[in-house]
A and B are shown apart, each in its own frame.
Chain A
Amino acid sequence: MANLKEVKGRITSVISTQQITKAMKMVAAAKLRRSQDRITQMRPFAQKLSSILQNLSSAQGDNSSDAWYSQVREEKKVLIVAISSDRGLCGSFNSNIFKGVLRVIAEKYQSQYDKGNVTILPIGRKAFEFFGKRKVNLVGDYSTLFSNLTFEQAAKAAEFLMTEFQAGRYDKIEIVYNEFKNVATQILRTEQFLPVKPPAQEGKKTSEVDYIYQPDREEIITGLIPKSLKVQLFKGLLDSNASENGARMTAMDKATENAGELLKELKLTYNRTRQAAITKEILEIVAGAEALKSA
Chain B
Amino acid sequence: MFLEIVTPEKKVFEGDADSATFPGADGSFQILNSHAPLISLLKEGVVEYKVKGAAQQVIITGGVVEVVNNKVILLADGVSA
Contact = CB atoms under 8 A, between A and B. Distances in A.
Interface of A: 38, 41-42, 44-46, 48-49, 52, 55-56, 150-152, 155, 209-215, 219-220, 223-224, 227, 230-231, 234
A215 B29 CA distance: 12
Nearest to B66: A52
* 6 A-B pairs closest in CB distance: A214-B40, A212-B38, A151-B8, A209-B37, A211-B37, A223-B41
A45 B41 contact: no
A215 B25 contact: yes
Contacts of A44: 6, 11
A38 B10 CA distance: 8
Contact of B64 (A46, A52, A151): A52
Contact of B39 (A41, A151, A211, A234): A211
The prevalent SS among residues of A at the interface is helix
Nearest to B38: A212
Among B25, B37, B39, max chain A CB count under 10 A is at: B39
Given A41-B9, A212-B36, A214-B38, 11 more contacts: A44-B6, A44-B11, A52-B39, A151-B8, A151-B77, A210-B37, A212-B40, A214-B25, A215-B26, A215-B40, A227-B75
Contact of B8 (A52, A219, A224, A231): A231
A213 B39 contact: yes
B18 to A, nearest CB: 21
Contacts of A41: 9-11
Contacts of A48: 6, 66, 73, 75
Contact of A45 (B6, B25, B29, B38): B6
Contacts of B38: 211-214
B9 A150 contact: yes
Nearest to A41: B10
Contacts of A234: 8
Interface of B: 6-11, 24-26, 29, 36-41, 64, 66, 68, 73, 75, 77-78
B12 to A, nearest CB: 11
B75 A45 contact: yes
Contacts of B24: 214
Given A41-B11, A45-B6, A223-B64, A214 B41 contact: yes
Nearest to B73: A48
Contacts of A49: 64, 75
10 contacts: A42-B9, A44-B6, A151-B8, A151-B77, A151-B78, A211-B68, A213-B39, A214-B26, A215-B40, A224-B64
Contacts of B73: 48
Contact of B40 (A38, A213, A227): A213
Among B8, B25, B29, B77, max chain A CB count under 10 A is at: B8
A81 to B, nearest CB: 18
Contacts of B9: 38, 41-42, 150-151
Contacts of A211: 37-39, 68
Contacts of B7: 45, 151
Among A45, A48, A230, max chain B CB count under 10 A is at: A45
A216 to B, nearest CB: 10
Nearest to A52: B66
A174 B9 CA distance: 24
Given A48-B75, A151-B78, A152-B78, A214 B39 contact: yes
Contacts of B25: 214-215, 219, 223
Nearest to B25: A215
